[in-house]
Amino acid sequence: MNHHVAEAEPSELTTYRIHRVMAEAWSHTALRDSLQVVADGVVELVGFGVAALSVLHDTGELEVVAVGGDDSAREELLGTFSPMAGLAEELAVAEHWGPRLRFVPHERLSSAVGTIGWVPQYEPVDSPDAWHPLDLLIALITDADGVVRGTMSVDLPDDGLRPGAERRRQLETYAEQAGRAILTAVERARLSERVRLADAARKVVREASGQLSTDALLDAAKEAVVDGFDIQGLWLHTFDADGDGPGRLHSSDGAQLRLEPEMVALGEKIARACWAEQRTLVVSPRREDWLLAPAEHEAVCDYLASVAVTSVMVVPLGAGQECSGLLALTRDDSDPDWSDAEATAALDIGHDLGRALLNARLFERERRLVDELQALDAYKSRLIATVSHELKTPLSTVVGHVEMLGMDPDLSSRGRTSVDAIGRGASRLHHLVDSLLMLAKVGDPHNVLDPAPVDLGAALRETAQLLEVQAETRGVVLDVDLPEAPVLALGDQDELDQLCTNLVSNAVKYSVAGGRVELGVRRVAHGPDVCVELWVTDHGIGISEVDQEQLFGEFFRSTNPVAVAQPGTGLGLTIVARIVERHRGRIDVRSVLGEGTTFRVELPAAPG
């Protein structure tokens, strides 16, 4: 295609019209509409019957995006693609008519080179400078770096002649004006595309990052990506993360996708290679890719054709060194080709979605682990309860016979010593069984707490009375500080009684002779919340910092030799911690080795 201008200098009116046409082009936001205005302006002002504007895509192809003038030319050319390499081959023999204009006379065209564009049907005029239907006149549109961004070609000069020197200069001027409009429109379109894709990426990150379920995350991501990239469909394949299956394949339209194992393996190969190179891969019958062997490329294209897809952009998903899956964005013949901006945005989404997917998987693994631990804990509680109940019966028999033997007046001195020893052992064993049963009760997640108002002051007073003899035996004074009014906590009476007993008995046990144990309870307010605080303070042997870290562990005994010498099961404080946890309370320990220990427990207060 070739174009022609008038020989006279452009008048002020003509110049005004050119600038008006350019200003109108710049005011359009859609690239094709803007360039159509330019093409129509060239036909109107320059003096050619046809003007065609093409934009160079990242794929190396020129797409005709606007055609002005002849309707048959518009119908045949608009939307067609041609390789830039083919045009460059023709331009190799072109005459340079200026910085932009290239003219290829028909007699220089090689028979091996196909004609680029539309060939008009008309008879040349009778002149040595007659315009031939196969003559090619084209202006290269370049950016500030000299990189070709598009072309403007013209045909059907109104006088039927090849342009002379003056016309060439004028055409170069008009080509420069048109080139500015083309570059502006292209840059605006690319900026708009980048903004659109950035919004899509932000939407994906916003919607996906809030999902802690893999399925919910993928559902949110699919909708955001399809809307943001204006694509036909989306396939999302997540790789197996735990070695328990081939991963999952999702489709944006909900269709059930079936892939042969060979295609699944090929997809994983593509994704991992793309992640390693940090780039995407476009597979299409009309373009080569940088990764696949010819047979692999053909296999993918055959599969795409079987599901009515023309091209696919494969985007790797991952985080750090791990590739966790792929996005396959699909388009058909009616969609534009993939751009560099889309590839960049898609790769960013692959990173963001990969991180969100990793977080969701970690959360799911943790949730599975928690479920397994809870199931194990429930099993342990049932086991402890069962074993403890089974021990109760023979233990009661032992205690009963010990009491009978102790009442026998004929029992020898040695026999009585043995019976007393058996009695002490049975008593310790009975205490252990009771502790195990309580531990099983407060540790069972299926044992739902039924809270009721409990007078914690009364419970602490009764505990002090029960342990008064033990305290006097050890030379320890119990100092009880209780308000006159009841202090009501919300909880289980038996469990809170056990909590008081365990804390006070521990304080007495680990106090020194002549020591004092201070205990009390009160209501405290933390802003709008009111709770009940219970404290037990001793001035005994204290607890080391190392032991404090494990203090509430099951069967934990202190490393302090003085503490080890005292009898115990290592379950008392474990039971206290479980009770506090069940009551949604808080426990705090302050201790200095050799100086004493304070336990503070906060429990929800009963209303009123």
The pair of three-digit structure tokens given for residue 523, joined into one six-digit string: 């209501």
The predicted pLDDT at position 207 comes to 64
| Token pair of 389 as six digits | 């109940």
The confidence score (pLDDT) of residue 205 equals: 65
- Backbone φ and ψ for 523, nearest 5 degrees, come out as -90, 135
Choice among 21-25, 370-374, 377-381 with the minimum mean pLDDT = 21-25
Alpha helices in 257-412 (DSSP H): 261-277, 294-306, 340-406
Q: How far is CA 472 from its chain centroid?
A: 63
Residue 18: what pLDDT?
Answer: 41
Contact status, residue 274 vs residue 281, Cβ threshold 8 Å: yes
**Which pLDDT belongs to residue 113?**
45
- Asked which of 171-180, 227-236, 576-585 is least confident by mean pLDDT, the reply is 227-236
CA distances from 400 to 63, 415, 443 (A): 101, 16, 31
**pLDDT single digits (tens) 8-53:** 344 444 444 444 444 444 344 456 777 788 888 888 888 889 999 8
pLDDT at 225 over 90: no
Sequence-distant (6+) residues with CB within 8 A of 271 are 237, 239, 314, 316, 317, 323, 325, 326
Question: DSSP secondary structure string, 260-285?
Answer: -HHHHHHHHHHHHHHHHHT--EEEBT
Q: In what order do the strands lie in the sheet with 248-251?
A: 248-251, 233-238, 322-331, 311-319, 281-283
Q: What is the pTM of this model?
A: 0.46
608: confidence class by pLDDT, cuts 50, 70, 90: low
What does the pLDDT look like over 469-516, one tens digit per residue? 999 999 999 999 999 899 999 999 999 999 999 999 999 999 988 899
E-state strands within 405-512: 452-455, 477-481, 488-491
Tell me the one-letter amino acid at 129. D
pLDDT digits (tens, 9 = 90+) for 424-433: 888 878 777 7
Above 50 in pLDDT, residue 449? yes
Task: Please write the tens of the pLDDT for every residue from 549-558.
Answer: 888 888 787 7
Q: Is the pLDDT of residue 85 over 50?
A: yes
Local confidence band at 110 (pLDDT 50, 70, 90 cut-offs) = low
| Mean pLDDT of the region 241-265 | 63
Share of the chain above pLDDT 90, in %: 28
> Does residue 192 register a pLDDT over 60?
yes
Highest mean pLDDT among 178-187, 363-372, 592-601: 592-601
pLDDT digits (tens, 9 = 90+) for 454-476: 999 999 999 999 999 999 999 99
* Separation between Cα atoms, residue 109 and residue 555, nearest integer Å: 95
Q: What is the mean pLDDT of residues 335-341?
A: 78
Distance from CA of residue 44 to its chain's centroid?
54
Strand order of the sheet with strand 516-526? Answer: 477-481, 516-526, 529-538, 596-604, 586-592
Say how many C-beta atoms besides its own lie within 10 A of residue 285's C-beta.
Answer: 13
